[in-house]
Each structure stands twice: as C-alpha cells, then as structure tokens.
C-alpha cells in the first residue's frame, strides 16, 4: 500500500529487499477520502501521483533487473535518479507495463483502488494520452 506517509526511498528500498528475498511486491495506492480522518490535506494530487508513479517505475526497474536501489539517487528521500539512462525510462513508459495492475495473477479487480478522477494502476496498456500524462506526472520532459 503506497501513500501512507512513506517516502520514495522507503518504498523503493523495501521493494528492493523484498525482491532480493523472492517476494514480489504488488502495488496498491492508498485511496484518500476527502473530509475524513483519512484525508491528507498537506499533499496535493500531483505529489501523490508523482510518488506513486516513481515507485511503480522503480519497482519495474528492480524486477526487470535494469536497476536496483543502491544505484538510485535520492534528494530529501525523493528519487532524482533511477539509475538508468533517460532512453530506458522512455522505453519503459512507452511499453506501459510498469504502470499496469500489479496484484495477484488473474486479478479480477483491477480498478479496486482507483478514484473517478485518477487512474493509478492501468488494467490495460496505457494509451498515448495516458503515457503523456505519466511522463508529466513523473516530471520528465516530453
């Protein structure tokens, strides 16, 4: 569950350690509920989605053996270098599988933690507009 106060570095380090121990971490986004005790007012939607996308991308790099936590760089616990070149990042975004539902095999609830305004886990390959949004959400230049 991503979005409970952990940093990029916390989440990526744990995913890396789990993977080294043959545990595949499935990602789910915490669903913020406005007007309740579960609302996190100090975080903006753009911060929430940037954090989630960074963890999704890092998880993909780790499980595909393209990069690993020790080779990634962080500033103030926010990832600033994924440990691979921009061309690899762009090809992963173009492929789209890093941003797909990563739950159990044959998951029949791919939209279980989505909101009406934001898709965190795509149940299918993201389309061109969605990939452009992912680039923006990650803060990468188009």
User: For the chain, how many structural domains are there in total?
Assistant: 1
The CA-atom distances, in angstroms, between 20 and each of 1, 27, 69, 103 are 19, 17, 11, 19
Could you tell me how many helices (H) and strands (E) the chain has, helices first? 4, 2
The reply to whether 3 falls in a domain is no
Whether residue 79 is contained in a domain is answered as yes
pLDDT of 124? 83
Does 133 map to a domain?
A: yes
Q: In the predicted model, is pLDDT for residue 42 greater than 60? A: no
Q: Which DSSP string corresponds to 62-83?
A: HHTTS--GGG-EEETTEEEE-S
| Confidence band for 55, pLDDT divided at 50, 70 and 90 | very high
83: in domain? yes
Residue 108 has pLDDT above 90, yes or no: no
Is residue 14 situated within a structural domain?
Answer: yes
pTM (predicted TM-score): 0.86
Q: State the Cα torsion 117-103-30-64 to the nearest 10°.
A: -90
On whether residue 1 sits in a domain, the answer given is no
In a domain, 110, yes or no: yes
CA distances in angstroms from 125 to 68, 98, 136, listed in the order given: 24, 9, 17
Residues 17-40 have pLDDT tens digits of 999 999 988 888 877 666 766 666
Domain, as residue range, for 110: 8-138
Residue 2 in any domain: the answer is no
Q: What is the pLDDT of residues 61-84, one digit of tens each?
A: 999 999 999 999 999 999 999 999
């Amino acid at each position: 569950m991503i979005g409970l106060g952990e940093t990029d570095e916390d989440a990526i380090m744990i995913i890396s350690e789990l993977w080294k121990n043959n545990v595949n971490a499935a990602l789910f986004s915490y669903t913020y509920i406005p007007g309740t005790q579960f609302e996190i007012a100090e975080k903006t939607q753009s911060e929430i989605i940037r954090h989630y996308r960074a963890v999704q991308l890092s998880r993909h790099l780790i499980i595909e053996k393209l990069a690993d936590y020790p080779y990634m760089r962080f500033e103030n616990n926010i990832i600033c270098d994924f440990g691979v070149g921009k061309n690899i990042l762009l090809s992963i975004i173009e492929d789209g599988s890093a941003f797909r539902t990563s739950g159990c095999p044959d998951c029949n609830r791919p939209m279980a933690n989505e909101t009406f305004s934001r898709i965190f886990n795509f149940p299918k390959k993201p389309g061109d507009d969605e990939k452009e949004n992912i680039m923006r959400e990650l803060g990468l230049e188009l």
